[in-house]
């Protein structure tokens, strides 16, 4: 029986892996420009971290975690998201004690959620995310959103929309919670069993129920924005002011509550509006999580961040017809005719690679004609041909594939010949 990849996962093959490298490189470069530095945390954590961090009444914790017991009897979980682990590391290494506040971090790596796989939804997916810890300044919120938008724009996405909301502080959330309970209580039996349980445990979660999304009670539910206290309202006004100042268009959606429990004040998502890009339209999600550091055992300290998935980013780029590098093409292919020439080819290829060129040769005993075809398939810019005559003279025949033009180049000058040519092309 042939093996198949597990459901909801994917292999990234050459031709695609270059696209991944490219988008990650652009995102990393922008993070560094904004002053964010990379953090790498383990792929699994103690299960308790996510119960506390993400919240034990969320769908992620209740339905979607890959949790297992290791041979030492510990309850471990493949990370479903990156914020709780980053905050755990922040607290564990006492990074809050550093004079460099806020501490601005980014990460990139696989996350795991047992979700129903569909377009843009995977069980293993890669999140690129940032977390800024130690600042409660609304300008920080604007910076984080600007960075996310900048990444998409730098990659060439045009049809994206920034959607924002505020959940307010603890007081505002409490007032809203009571209003939600009043709203849903009388007719809760019309909603699914999960929502009935949520009414007791976490009424806000009713608003992001996937099953009851279109129920009439959802559209008429009390809006959090009507329950913001003065302080929360003022904070939200400042965030909007900074976004406007930066020229970042946004829309407000009072129903944007997000699926994780740690949020307060600003929440946001970036959606794709590209045609035919339906179900997985949310490219990026984030928000403020003042209180999470304390929840995980650190001092009281504000934080804000976002995460985007590379899978959805690539799908959005494709939907908008943006071309990305595929890694195809080499500088030169060394074709050899005969045993002696083969020996020379092995030496030459290594020498040219050492000189910084992308070079290849035949390893499966092809005839000269087949070697030239192979060079074509590899999209070689040049082919170096060597046979007995070239060996005797120590001069290679070099063919430029695009023009068909042939030149004779002494072996010793091949490296500089190509370095010169490829540099000129790159300019």
Q: Kindly state whether residue 55 participates in binding ligand HAM, applying the rule CB under 6 A.
A: no
SS (H, E, C) 104-135: EEEEEEEEECCCCCECCECCEEEEEEEEEECC
What counts of helices (H) and strands (E) characterise the chain?
15, 16
With both helix axes pointing from N to C terminus, report the angle between 310-319 and 17-33 in degrees, rounded to the nearest 10: 110
Q: Kindly state whether residue 284 participates in binding ligand HAM, applying the rule CB under 6 A.
A: yes
Applying CB under 6 A, which of residues 55, 134, 286, 302 lies at the interface with ligand HAM? Answer: 286
Spatial distance between the Cα atoms of 75 and 67, rounded to a whole number of angstroms: 7
Q: Kindly state whether residue 81 participates in binding ligand HAM, applying the rule CB under 6 A.
A: yes
Task: Sketch the per residue contact string, 320 through 349, with ligand HAM: x for CB under 6 A, - otherwise.
Answer: ------------------------------
The answer to whether 254 touches 225, Cβ cutoff 8 Å, is yes
Q: Kindly state whether residue 166 participates in binding ligand HAM, applying the rule CB under 6 A.
A: no
Q: Kindly state whether residue 298 participates in binding ligand HAM, applying the rule CB under 6 A.
A: no
Q: Kindly state whether residue 306 participates in binding ligand HAM, applying the rule CB under 6 A.
A: yes
- Taking CB under 6 A as the binding criterion, the range among 124-132, 155-163, 173-181, 192-200 that sits at the site for ligand HAM is 124-132
Q: How far is CA 54 from CA 8, 87, 263, 292, in A?
A: 22, 11, 9, 9
Q: Kindly state whether residue 287 participates in binding ligand HAM, applying the rule CB under 6 A.
A: yes
Q: Kindly state whether residue 108 participates in binding ligand HAM, applying the rule CB under 6 A.
A: no
210-216 long-range Cβ contacts below 8 angstroms, 24+ apart: 210/59, 215/190, 215/191
Q: Is the four-CA dihedral 201, 114, 295, 288 of positive or negative sign?
A: negative
The token duo for 50 is 């996510």
Task: Sketch the per residue contact string, 230 through 269, with ligand HAM: x for CB under 6 A, - otherwise.
Answer: -----------------------------xx---------
Q: Kindly state whether residue 83 participates in binding ligand HAM, applying the rule CB under 6 A.
A: yes
User: How do strand 380-386 and strand 395-400 relate by DSSP bridges?
Assistant: antiparallel
Q: Is the peptide bond before 102 cis (omega within 30 degrees of 0)?
A: yes
Q: Smallest gap, in angstroms, from Cβ of residue 308 to ligand HAM?
A: 5
Q: Kindly state whether residue 113 participates in binding ligand HAM, applying the rule CB under 6 A.
A: yes
Residue placing its CB nearer to ligand HAM in the complex, 10 or 397:
10
Q: Kindly state whether residue 121 participates in binding ligand HAM, applying the rule CB under 6 A.
A: yes
Spatial distance between the Cα atoms of 44 and 72, rounded to a whole number of angstroms: 15
Scan residues 263-282 and list those touching ligand HAM (CB under 6 A).
282
Residue placing its CB nearer to ligand HAM in the complex, 121 or 215:
121
The answer to whether 340 touches 398, Cβ cutoff 8 Å, is no
Residue placing its CB nearer to ligand HAM in the complex, 308 or 409:
308
Q: Which of 412, 408, 413, 372 is nearest to 390 (CA)?
A: 408
Q: Smallest gap, in angstroms, from Cβ of residue 394 to ligand HAM?
A: 57
Q: Kindly state whether residue 134 participates in binding ligand HAM, applying the rule CB under 6 A.
A: no
The residue to which tokens 């999140």 are assigned: 127
Applying CB under 6 A, which of residues 127, 165, 266, 371 lies at the interface with ligand HAM? Answer: 127
Q: Which residues of 381-401 are buried (b: 16+ CB within 10 A; e: fewer)?
A: bbbbbbbeebbeeebbbbbeb
Q: Kindly state whether residue 125 participates in binding ligand HAM, applying the rule CB under 6 A.
A: yes
Applying CB under 6 A, which of residues 36, 122, 236, 418 lies at the interface with ligand HAM? Answer: 122
Q: Smallest gap, in angstroms, from Cβ of residue 83 to ligand HAM?
A: 4
Q: Smallest gap, in angstroms, from Cβ of residue 173 to ligand HAM?
A: 17
Strands (E), 299-345: 303-309, 330-336
- Which region holds residue 41: left if phi is over 0, alpha if psi is between -120 and 50, else beta? beta
Q: Kindly state whether residue 36 participates in binding ligand HAM, applying the rule CB under 6 A.
A: no
**Under the rule (CB under 6 A), what is the footprint of ligand HAM?**
81-83, 113, 115, 120-122, 125, 127, 129, 131, 259-260, 282-287, 289, 305-309, 311-312
């Amino acid at each position: 029986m042939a093996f198949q990849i597990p459901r909801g996962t994917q292999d990234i093959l050459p031709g695609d892996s270059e696209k991944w490298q490219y988008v990650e490189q652009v995102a990393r470069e922008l993070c560094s420009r904004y002053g964010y530095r990379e953090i790498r945390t383990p792929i699994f954590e103690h299960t308790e971290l996510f119960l506390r961090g993400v919240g034990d009444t969320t769908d992620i914790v209740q339905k979607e975690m890959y949790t297992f017991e290791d041979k030492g009897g510990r309850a471990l979980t493949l990370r479903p998201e990156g914020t709780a682990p980053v905050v755990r590391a922040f607290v564990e290494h006492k990074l809050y004690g550093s004079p460099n506040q806020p501490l601005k971090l980014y990460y990139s790596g696989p996350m795991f959620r047992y979700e129903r796989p569909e377009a843009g939804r995977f069980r293993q997916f890669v999140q690129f995310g940032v977390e800024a810890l130690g600042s409660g300044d609304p300008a920080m919120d604007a910076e984080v959103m600007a960075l996310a938008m900048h990444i998409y724009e730098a990659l060439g996405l045009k049809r994206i929309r920034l959607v924002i909301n505020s959940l307010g502080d603890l007081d505002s959330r409490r007032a809203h919670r009571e209003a939600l309970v009043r709203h849903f209580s009388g007719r809760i039996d019309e909603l699914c069993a999960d929502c009935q349980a949520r009414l007791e445990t976490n009424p806000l979660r009713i608003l992001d129920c996937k099953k009851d999304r279109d129920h009439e009670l959802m559209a008429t539910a009390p809006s959090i924005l009507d329950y913001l206290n003065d302080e929360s309202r003022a904070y939200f006004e400042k965030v909007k002011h900074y976004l406007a100042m930066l020229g970042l268009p946004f829309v407000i959606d009072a129903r944007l509550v997000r699926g994780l429990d740690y949020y307060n004040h600003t929440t946001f998502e970036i959606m794709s509006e590209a045609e035919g890009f339906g179900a997985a339209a949310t490219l990026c999600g984030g928000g403020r999580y003042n209180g999470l550091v304390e929840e995980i055992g650190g001092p009281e300290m504000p934080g804000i961040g976002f995460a985007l998935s590379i899978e959805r980013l690539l799908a959005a780029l494709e939907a908008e017809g943006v071309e990305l590098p595929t890694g195809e093409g080499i500088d030169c292919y060394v074709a050899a005719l005969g045993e002696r020439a083969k020996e020379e080819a092995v030496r030459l290829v290594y020498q040219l690679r050492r000189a910084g060129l992308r070079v290849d040769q035949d390893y499966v005993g092809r005839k000269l004609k087949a070697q030239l075809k192979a060079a074509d398939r590899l999209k070689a810019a040049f082919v170096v041909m060597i046979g007995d005559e070239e060996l005797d003279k120590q001069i290679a025949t070099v063919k430029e594939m695009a023009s068909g033009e042939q030149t004779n180049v002494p072996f010793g000058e091949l490296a500089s010949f190509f370095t010169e040519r490829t540099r000129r092309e790159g300019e």
